[in-house]
Amino acid sequence: MNIDPIAELLVLFICLLASTSTLAWGLMAYPLRIAPRASTYFSLANLLILTGVLLTTLRDQTPSYLYWLGADMLLLLGFVLLRSGTQRLFRLSSSIKIDLALLLLTGLSMLTQPPSIAASDTLGIFFSFMAASTFLLMAKDNLVALEHTVKRPIAVILLSPIALMGVIFGLRALLLLIEPALKSHLASIQSADAIPMLWLYVVMTLWINVIMMGNALTRLVQKMRQQADRDYLTGLWNRRAMQQQLEQLHQRWLRDGQAYSLILFDLDFFKQINDKFGHSAGDAVLVKTAQQIGKVTRAMDIFCRLGGEEFLLVLPGTDGEVAEIIAQKLQQALRQSSLNWQGSLIPISASFGIVTTATGDTPDSLLALADKAMYRAKETGRDRCCTAERRLEQAQATPSQ
């Protein structure tokens, strides 16, 4: 079949976009290693779409399973991999098995029709329903992932091209079902009648890849930000992140008057552990401590490693009495834990300093008070809890508004 010159030019443009995207995603996967698994899926998806489009242009009057069924299945598999890449990018639950099962069902349905122009409308219906469901579900996946990082209206705007592609394929299926006379406009990419649809495919192909690229870079920025805020060894918040969150909590206390407390603790005899068993054992003790304390902290608590063997637990909405109870629980949790290091049991204990907000406090002054209380616990025998000492009238005061 002869292809319209303008339609041919648009098809070539789609192929250029797909091939460029294949290379770009391949570079992001290796050697740049930006979301490598998701980028690999996106690269492979564009390659399949490129191959499918090229095979579609070879359709003529001769029945051919390769140019009809093969081309359509490659295109649909490319769409499925786009969705799977999105799920891997945002660490969503994978639907690849269900998607592949639907793809297999679609392929079996297509086999009921002869692979030729005569059945192009029916084949187009099967193809379009599968493509529509894949793109609409892909838009839903992106919305679920992005609504936690951007406002919902912005997420909807960003994802509109993906959803629009799903809607277009759905309308294509319905129009082919209701009005077979539109076959030359909707079921072929070789005639002049298909030019408006091809233009739409060009725009959507470009826009969808731009969105996916933006999502991958957003994920990279989030990962870098998380690494900047987390302690490399224990995975806890680091001092920088703690100071930011503590300042925000302090401002809320000044505004609302809801007290919060700090528990600062330092592992006992940590230098002796390093000297006797080595720094690898010391690192293992730090990780064990983070794990044990993490088991008894609340979801709203802010658990940080300040550096060395020193840790801080920030307790929002917690007064001094409750903070003392929590500190005792932490103390008991460490007492009951030990590290089995190369056949030797290393006991773990810590000295705790506790402080609760009062009038005139700042984040720095609270940390200084907790630090003094912690060192008093060390000086009076270690493995104990001490509350910061204040004048009576200061301890009973409430924050000024």
Active-site positions? 309
DSSP state of 230: B
Continuous segment of H or E residues that includes residue 354: strand 350-356
- Number of Cβ within 10 Å of residue 174's Cβ equals 14
- Number of Cβ within 10 Å of residue 398's Cβ equals 10
Token representation of residue 124: 């187009």
Q: What residue spans of 230-342 are helical by DSSP H?
A: 239-256, 270-277, 279-296, 320-335
Phi, psi (5° rounding) for residue 350?
Answer: -150, 160
Token representation of residue 103: 């793809």
Give the three-class secondary structure for 42.
helix
Give buried/exposed letters for 357-388 (b at 16+ CB in 10 A, else e): bbeebebeebbebbbbbbebbbeeeebbbbbb
Block residue for tokens 């002796």: 272
Contacts of 54 (CB under 8 A, 6+ apart): 15
- Contact between residue 346 and residue 337 where contact means Cβ atoms under 8 Å apart: no
Give the three-class secondary structure for 265.
strand
Please calculate the CA angle 44-222-22 and round it to the nearest 5 degrees: 15
- Contact between residue 214 and residue 359 where contact means Cβ atoms under 8 Å apart: no
Query: Of 370, 365, 363, 366, which Cα lies nearest the Cα of 386?
Result: 370
Alpha-carbon torsion (4, 15, 116, 175), positive or negative: negative
